[in-house]
Amino acid sequence: MRVPGILILLVFLCNSCIPRGSEADKRPYKEDAEELLKQMTLDEKIGQLVAYTSHWDVTGPVVSNDSERYIKDGSCGAIFNAHEVSFNRKLQELAVNESRLGIPLLFGYDVIHGYRTTFPISLGEAASWNPELIEKAARVAAVEASACGVNWTFAPMVDISFDPRWGRVAESTGEDTYLGNVIAKAKVRGFQGDDLSTNNTLLACVKHYAAYGAPQAGRDYHTVDMSDRVLREVYLPPFKAAIDAGVGSVMTSFNEVDGMPVTGSKYLLDDILRKEWGFNGFIVTDYTGITEMIQHGVAADTAEAAVLAINAGVNIDMESSAYRVKLRSLVASGKITEEQIDKAVLWVLEGKFSLGLFDDPYRYFDEERQETLLSTEEHLDLAYELAAESLVLLKNKDKLLPLKPGTKVAVIGPHATLQRDLLGSWIADGKWKDIQTILQAIEQINGKDKTTYAKGAWFIDETDKIDVAEAIATAGKSDVIVLALGESWHWSGEAASRTKLGLPKAQTDLIRELKKLNKPMVMVVLNGRPLTLVQEYEMVDAMVEAWYPGTKGASAIADALFGKINPSGKLTMSFPRNVGQIPIHYNMKNTGRPYDPEGQEQKYRSRYIDSPNEPLFPFGFGLSYTDFIYDDLRLSSSSFAKDDSLIVSVNITNAGPYEGKEVVQLYIRDLVGSVTRPVKELKGFTKINLAPGEQQTVSFTITEEDLKFYRADMTFGAESGDFHLFVGRNSSDLIKAKFTLDN
């Protein structure tokens, strides 16, 4: 038995006082990693490029006997899906005490929207338009997960998507690149903190690089085909934003781009990510991504797939075993070089140094922390606050909401009593069995004697799951009906693409029957994607989009219904009227024959003959219990030079009876470019809070940077000319001004 960590300790001590130049400033642990690399055999190097999964059974987390053997002989660099201190400590002890060099393991896990304290799904978080809260939520997730032995999270997901058929929009920030950039940076800062080497941080992994949110037909894992211009303008910027924020790792996506699976794309992984952007972290595949290139049809066997991946720049092979099985023989045959492996290993070792694992391999394994840092009152308060700000009021006819406590309320629908669905997909260590239901939260405010319940419908249409008669009888005794409807939680997320985006037929039929009672109806919808809700919108009097709101979601919903909070969320994806409109988004192109619904002859225009072009709810949409008035939009000048700036100001007045928060949104349209430009693009936003009668002047600064795009020659820059500027409450309800960018 070797002395634990002695070689690693010597490397650390010998290099801790070495002066570091500009390259070392960018890669502060490169020299430490290089010293360690000199001591490693080829097999040990390959081992650092391999990650295996654990799984959970009735006893807790387990790994296979093979995985334990690989850890002992240094043939495994990372374990994922393990998040329990004693188990992870055991595996780390195998790596540190039994392998020749004692190189510590990474422990990765999908900590997407919380660990024990579960926040709203990412699409719901984004609807808060509050990056400060989102960053705090990621910080809480890091504190909790790191207390349970995790040091690496496969988040944030920053995939832009225009297609709600794709189930993973639940994990995204929605359809807008600018907003995606802001949230990507916030989440990286939250996960990694100010000092990654402290024991309450997680090394973040931005995913899924790249363009995973644009699969053909909205089908998960499917082909992606787009121009380089669209790739760079829409889908790549959030990854660049995460890299600018210092993200430590990048995960490749399953899809192909331009005929090459991303896991084998030298263009994406080396030319853009490494050389153009200067990314200094490591690159990991998604689950079995390397061997899936055989199914894609660009590799005949595992060896060819491994060559493609290592040549492209993949550093860690997640689960496929391609690197472990094939890299040694590929070096021996001359198809790859050991220098290529050295280069890959350096990135991984530097990541481990950055986490402080060579200083203390057990820094994340403290049983006391595990017992005391989960779901504290502070964490739960933040979960409530973010859930509250993620709620989007979609309709409020005749100001039905907020309800008065003591109103006779019939709560109808399956989501009223379901706990698991409140958390959504990817719940990490979320404990759903103990959380409050929507029904319980309403009863707590309204009183059990004034609140009744019936399920009425389920998520499927079989008659044995439906009791409409009971629901009608229950609702008939009430003054107001609150419907808790939507998707089952497992209908969204990975491998959950759908071609039908309406409510289950049983739920819509239930609303139709209840409508006959002629009582006011409030619909609370829980879901992981934009749905087609035209029928329901017409039948109900008020509608609240609640997403899957997390651990404290039920109380946030109830408090919103009864006016303890004023909804302030805004949609970050357009809600289509029907699936035939998809893909649909606010920043489309104008076309040569734009449709004007107010125009005269409109037949030969870009339009549908059976549906409006516009979505049911546009990007940025969300109502309030109060009324915000926008007026006096003014610019500091009608033009500005490229080295100058323009100040935009607008007055916002709360003209209603409630205190409320409003997301003030700024959009710009470039009227003439060397290539076509979108009809509008989000370029700024701020969230303000106003008391009744209060007015606030909101200002934005526009610079040349805000006007840049990929021009006809694919250089990135602004072009002089005329622009329209819009400010308002959503991407459709706006006031307009004009300005010119001078040469």
Residues designated as active site = 286
Alpha carbon 484 to its chain centroid, in Å, reads 25
Q: Which of 679, 698, 544, 550 is nearest to 624 (CA)?
A: 544
Report d(CA 222, CA 254) in Å as an integer: 8
Angstrom CA distances, 511 to 107, 190, 439, 456, 519, stand at: 47, 42, 18, 9, 11
DSSP 586: T
Exposure string for 572-591, b = 16+ CB within 10 A, e = fewer: bbbbbbbbebbbbbbbbeee
Judged on CB neighbours under 10 Å (0-12, 13-18, 19+), 655 is middle
Cβ(168)–Cβ(220) under 8 Å? Answer: yes
Cα-based torsion angle of the residue sequence 216, 218, 221, 226 in order, rounded to the nearest 10 degrees: 30
3-state per-residue secondary structure call for 679-717: CCEEEEEEEEEECCCCEEEEEEEEEHHHHCEECCCCCEE
What does the DSSP assignment read for 162-208?
S-TTSGGGGGS--S-HHHHHHHHHHHHHHHH-S-TTSTT--EEEEEE
CA distance 524 to 520: 13
Rounded to an integer, what is the distance from CA 673 to the centroid of its chain? 32
| End-to-end Cα distance, the chain | 72
CB 441 within 8 A of CB 451: no
Q: How many other C-beta atoms can be found within 10 angstroms of the C-beta atom of residue 462?
A: 8
User: 447, exposed or middle or buried, with CB in 10 Å at 0-12, 13-18, 19+?
Assistant: middle
- Per-residue 3-state assignment (H helix, E strand, C coil) for 402-469: CCCCCCCEEEECHHHCCCHHHCCCCCCCCCHHHCCCHHHHHHHHHCHHHEEEECCCCCCCCHHHCCHH
The angle at the Cα of 247, spanning 246 to 251, to the nearest 5 degrees, equals: 155
Eight-state DSSP code of residue 363: T
Q: Are 728 and 673 in contact (CB under 8 A)?
A: no
Q: Which residues, at least 6 apart from 664, have a Cβ–Cβ distance to it below 8 Å?
A: 630, 650, 652, 685, 686, 687, 688, 698, 727, 728, 729
Please give the angle made by the CA atoms of 324, 329 and 330, to the nearest 5 degrees: 95
Alpha-carbon gap, residue 637 to 258, rounded angstroms = 44
